[in-house]
Amino acid sequence: MTSVATVPHAPVVVPDYLEKTYWWAYTHPNAVRVFERQWLVNLILWGNFSRLRDLALQDMGEVIHGQVLQVACVYGNLTEHIVRRLDPQAHLSVIDVAPVQIKNLHQKLTDKRQVSILQQDATHMGFADASQDCTLVFFLLHEMPVEVRRKTIAEALRVTKPGGKVIFVDYHKPVASSPFRYIMVPILTTLEPFAMDLWNHDITEWLPASVTADQMDKQTYFGGLYQKLVITR
């Protein structure tokens, strides 16, 4: 089994914006008890969790090789499905800034032989440059203020090897004919105050200038409410 190499970092502190904005969903122990339910995460995504999970897995491969990074723990069974696809020599690292999320994933995963679960800040990861073969950022960017989002994207690109993939799955502005274009606005503005940025701006606006159009593959789903952007380094 291949282990993960990290570099020394200062102690990780949960960001103020996360504590103030998302304590009810991510940082309070009661949040885990409420939201760690497969049927609920599927409902929150209007029945699309499994489809979006599988779309991300499709780009990771039927058999996942090398060093793989999942940026932030995810409610539901995404991580379990990644683990099932790991080649015997592959290794998955999962990072999260919130201790309660780290604890929850430890309890949730029954097989951690090829997994490292680490408390790290997505804006300042403890991995060497070009150390990951694939990096997945699944429904995280919409929870971040703009500058945090920009740094997270830059870090995901930094740690991914040339020829490797960075996969972003997140919200997207629906087409005009979609009823969700109107249904989701009060939901997101009330519960996800940073999410509207992903409606009004494209992820590509936060990419470093070194990333070119021919490296990117963007697809949208469910009337445009969700997107998957794959960048090949």
Model confidence pLDDT, tens digit, residues 42-75? 999 999 999 999 999 999 999 999 999 999 999 9
Question: What predicted TM-score, i.e. pTM, was given to this entire model?
Answer: 0.95
Report the mean per-residue pLDDT for the chain: 95
Query: What is the share, in percent, of the chain residues with pLDDT greater than 70?
Result: 96
Q: Which of 58, 110, 91 is nearest to 217 (CA)?
A: 58
pLDDT band at 21 (very low <50, low <70, confident <90, very high): very high
Mean pLDDT confidence for 200-213 = 94
Q: What amino acid is encoded at 114 in this protein?
A: Q
DSSP code of residue 73 = -
pLDDT of res. 8: 57
Q: What is the pLDDT of residues 28-43, one digit of tens each?
A: 999 999 999 999 999 9
Q: Parallel, antiparallel, or unpaired: how do β-strands 91-96 and 67-71 relate?
A: parallel
Coil, strand or helix at 94: strand
Instruction: Provide, rounded to the nearest whole percent, the portion of the chain with pLDDT above 90.
Output: 95
Contact between 93 and 68 (Cβ < 8 Å): yes
Partner residues linked to 86 by β-bridges: 64
204 contacts: CB under 8 Å, gap ≥ 6: 211, 216, 218, 229
Contacting residues for 14 by C-beta, under 8 A, at least 6 apart: 27, 97, 98, 99
The pLDDT value given to residue 38: 97
Is pLDDT above 80 for 199? Answer: yes
Q: Any idea what DSSP says for residue 213? A: G
Query: Given this model, what pLDDT does residue 5 score?
Result: 62
pLDDT score recorded for residue 2: 57
Grade residue 11 by pLDDT with cuts at 50, 70 and 90: confident
Q: What is the pLDDT of residues 72-120, one digit of tens each?
A: 999 999 999 999 999 999 999 999 999 999 999 999 999 999 999 999 9
